[in-house]
Amino acid sequence: MPVITVDKKDFCHLLARDISMNEIEERLPMLGLAWEGTEGDEFSIEISPNRPDMLSVEGLARVFSSFMNIQTGLKKYKAEKSEYMIKVHSSTRQVRPFIVCAVVTGMTFNDDSIKSLMQIQEKLHITHARKRRKAAIGVHDLDKIKFPLFYTVKDPSFKFIPLEETKEMTLDNILKHTPKGKDYGWILKGKEKYPMLMDADEKVMAMPPIINSIHTMIDENTKNLFIDVTGTDEKTINEILNIVVTSLADRKGRIHLIRIKYPERTIETPNLENEIMNLNPTYVNSLLGLNLANHEMIKCLQKMGFDADETGKGDLQVVIPCYRTDIMHPMDLVEDIAIAFGYENFEPEIPNVSTIGEEDPIESFSTKLRTLLVGYGLQEVVTFILTNKNNSYKKMKMEEKDVIETTNPKTEEYSILRTWMLPSLMEVLWRNKHRVYPQNIFEVGDVLKFDPRTDSGTSNIKKLCIVLCYSKANFSKMKSIVESILNNFGVKGYKIEEASLPFFIKGRAGRVVIGGKTLGGFGEIHPEVLNSWELGMPVASCELDVNLLFKSINEK
């Protein structure tokens, strides 16, 4: 989890109150943060991944101020109208399709504010922006820019002077020879053209998501900022922009809207509108085991930076700040009420239930299976059960079938529940394609299938998936692993038959049959699938039904 370093004097300045280091150390962890220690007049704190708004000193001070009853309730931010505009070229759709921007004026920079700005960029890039793949932040000196701006693409031979360089470099050379290019060039690998942000005089401002130009570099004389966030997920880049601009506004900056003109639509950013969510007080008390009155809940919510009022129908109407990206369900509000109430104030009770716990037999078997696979020299991974149609079907050359979709997905990246595991492990290989080979990994985890007999309409199936990725990965090596697993668990009477699946090479795939039922399949991944995942190494894989394997062993 990310750790930020905070100057106590600057922190207290933002609080508008002097608080001792001992009190900070005692109270900050009550927000669900981990104290990492002090060094001189600075302290370090580990931030929970679900609270990116606290990755800046300003955001942390804002939350702590409310929690300590210094300034409670919703902090309001306003973006002023302006004539600033940026035009987005249609060619960016195939490279990095989305951009949001803002202008913040009236800033007074010193060492503390510059450090904070650099720190929030770094921490957001690592966490919420997924190492710049999903989003990347650019900060520029507004007074060096001429509007309107243009977000477009350029050929690899295009030149400009990047930050920390003195001579023009081609875009290809920037990716190959600059530190930022080496760190993040993999994001643009395989692209024929690269994204570029330019001003009205055709001066380069940035090459997202890699590096800014020296032309718009900020310094100690900078008073006005232009901020851009580019990325592949529009929701994420809007969230990140809101976090950055509200942090700057806490330093007395004034936020200005920018009109962004796409080929098919025009929007204005940042969108600082607050969300509204209804909360049932009975739901809160039943979950927390408390008997809080409505006005007590409202007070707790205000202590966590929300506004709330009674609706007249028994519910509470809660106003959620624009920077709180973690509030997705009433349960999240219940958690904040518990924090405000104080976990130390809950009275522990022994539940009126008598049970004897034991490990589920299938989980015990899965543990033995994992131990065996580690003995084969494979590395275990754990992936999300949520995925998307592009990964599960399009990249795997599969037709969409029996898709289990989420009702209201917050992001397109996690919009369905997986019905098989291989795409999840292919994504792990894709994310690590710049790492050393071989990459031989496995996962024992759950997938879902439609089941009308259950209340949810689905049931969980435990699967094993293995992928081998190195120069000699092939059908024979995967077949030997599958047979070794079956033989080690004493499985008899199984058959291996030829199989035909679109994501395997024809004639290089098989399936395992036990008692007339298919246990799973294995084979060599088709080159077209490897290309769709941008993998340059052969891959062999297998996927087996752990429930069926366990059942067949028990029957014997």
Alpha-carbon distance 48 to 325, whole Å?
13
- For the chain, residues classed under CATH 3.30.56.10 are 3-67, 275-343
* In contact, 56 and 116? CB cutoff 8 Å: yes
Tokens coding 345: 């104030």
- Report the topology of domain 275-343: Phenylalanyl-tRNA Synthetase; Chain B, domain 1 (3.30.56)
Q: Which residue has the tokens 């997924």?
A: 130
From 385, 392, 399, 290, select the one nearest 346 (Cα to Cα). 290
Tokens coding 511: 């399936």
- For the chain, residues classed under CATH 3.30.930.10 are 361-555
Tokens coding 90: 């249609």
- CATH code for the domain defined by 3-67: 3.30.56.10
Residues 6+ away with beta carbon under 8 Å from 335: none
Per-residue tens of pLDDT for the chain, all 556 residues: 789 999 999 999 999 999 999 999 999 999 999 999 999 999 999 998 889 999 999 999 999 999 999 999 999 999 999 999 999 999 999 999 999 999 999 998 888 888 899 999 999 999 999 899 999 999 999 999 999 999 999 999 999 999 989 999 999 999 999 999 999 999 998 899 999 999 999 999 999 999 999 999 988 889 999 999 999 999 999 999 999 999 999 999 999 999 999 999 999 999 999 999 999 999 999 999 999 999 999 999 999 999 999 988 889 999 999 999 999 999 999 999 999 999 999 988 887 887 888 888 999 999 999 999 999 999 999 999 999 999 999 999 998 888 888 877 777 788 899 999 999 999 999 999 889 999 999 999 999 998 888 877 889 999 999 999 999 999 999 999 999 999 999 888 899 999 999 999 999 999 999 988 999 999 999 999 999 999 999 999 999 999 999 998 886 5
Report phi then psi at 320, rounded to 5: -105, 130
- For the chain, residues classed under CATH 3.50.40.10 are 79-269
pLDDT for the residue 265: 95
Report phi then psi at 323, rounded to 5: -95, -5
From 391, 410, 412, select the one nearest 400 (Cα to Cα). 391
pLDDT for the residue 397: 92
pLDDT for the residue 75: 94
Superfamily of domain 361-555: Bira Bifunctional Protein; Domain 2 (3.30.930.10)
Other beta carbons within 10 angstroms of residue 89's beta carbon come to 14
Alpha-carbon Rg for the chain, nearest whole angstrom, is 27
pLDDT for the residue 369: 95
pLDDT for the residue 556: 59
Alpha-carbon distance 319 to 302, whole Å?
10
pTM: 0.73
Quote the crossing angle between the two packed helices 294-303 and 57-67, to the nearest 10°. Answer: 150
From 427, 391, 545, 388, select the one nearest 482 (Cα to Cα). 545
CATH of 79-269, one of 3.30.70.120, 3.30.70.270, 3.50.40.10, 3.30.56.10: 3.50.40.10
* In contact, 63 and 199? CB cutoff 8 Å: no
* In contact, 402 and 448? CB cutoff 8 Å: no
pLDDT for the residue 271: 96
Q: Can you list the pairs that 511-514 forms with residues at least 24 positions away whose Cβ atoms lie under 8 Å?
A: 512/482, 512/486, 512/544, 514/548, 514/549, 514/552
From 267, 284, 332, 270, select the one nearest 304 (Cα to Cα). 332
In terms of Cβ atoms closer than 10 Å to its own Cβ (0-12, 13-18, 19+), residue 208 is buried
